[in-house]
Amino acid sequence: MGDDLRRRAGRVLAWSALGAVAVAAVCPFVGGSGMDYGKLWRGEGPDWGIFVNLRVPRTLLAFLTGAALSTAGALYQALLRDALATPSSLGVTAAAALGAVAALALGPGDEAGFPVVWVAALVGAGVVITLVAALGQVKRFTSFTLLLTGIAVSGVCTALVLLLHSMAGLTKAFQISHWLMGGIDAVEYSVLGWLALVLVPVSWWVLRQARVLNVVSYGEAWAVGRGVDCRKITWQGFAAGAVLVGTTTAVTGPIAFVGLIVPHLLRRVLGPDHRVLLPACLFGGGAFLVVCDAISRSVLAPVEIPVGVTTALLGGPFFVWLLWSR
């Protein structure tokens, strides 16, 4: 990496990290109900408990989820060399949702535990991404064909999710309905710890592949001529993306368009170099979902809008604009 590029990457990383920290620091104070900041400063009353046990975990969950989904979106777009490639368009999100819903609907008791839902979501995402990667490697499908395949798989998974929902009992059906809308809820700090334990190493691996992804984005022939094992990096990249998407989906439910909006907008501003783009997507995606969650719990207070609805309302028109611009 040249000196100029290194300095530019450092500036982008510093500013994106500072912006994300600023957003994460401010948004816990935003909500539908007012807070007594004097009591909060002194650590007194219910305000302190709401802030520490509800607002802060919710903000951290939104940041981890947004960072993971945005990083996965940028990774898939690089591997398939298509700005429309996202976890949702490849069917990974729907497959992870199918696995999680199966665990919720068929699991013992009224509520399946987080590890069970997480494993089921990972299995669903892994099966679909393996299918997509195998088609790309064996049949030499184009990226457009793989996207169409992902959309078809997503439709099948959605139909199976609806079937499981209709067969579930009343309590589980309500739980599944709430989960399918995609939401950022307060979770225990132990759950956040497990999420970070999984997401941080995988995200770090993706960031370290930035130079290879730059070569792959020019085309398979170009990459092979420069010593890149395209088959290996494709399988590894798809697996990393499946872990990022499956892990977050197990906790928050399916949240659409984060992996499309953030990478695409940052690519237009910062350029296609993944050594700059990937760190910016990680921090930018986290900050984006934190802001969306703050909007969701404030705009119609005391009623909360599921954050999946907010991202869909923002992402749907953006997706149509992207199609027309292409």
pLDDT in tens, 24-38: 999 888 876 667 667
DSSP reduced 3-state for 141: coil
pTM of the full predicted structure? 0.89
- At residue 73, the pLDDT reads 94
- At residue 7, the pLDDT reads 76
Location of structure tokens 């579930």? 168
What residues does each domain of the chain span?
Answer: 3-325
- Which CATH fold topology does 3-325 show? ABC transporter involved in vitamin B12 uptake, BtuC (1.10.3470)
Task: Determine the Cα–Cα distance for residues 181 and 143; give it in Å rounded to an integer.
Answer: 29
Burial string for 192-209 (b: 16+ CB within 10 Å, else e) reads: bebbeebbeebbeebbeb
* Ranges of the chain with pLDDT below 70: 1-3, 5, 32-34, 36-37, 108-114, 136-141, 326
How many CA atoms does the CB half-sphere of 59 hold within 13 Å?
22
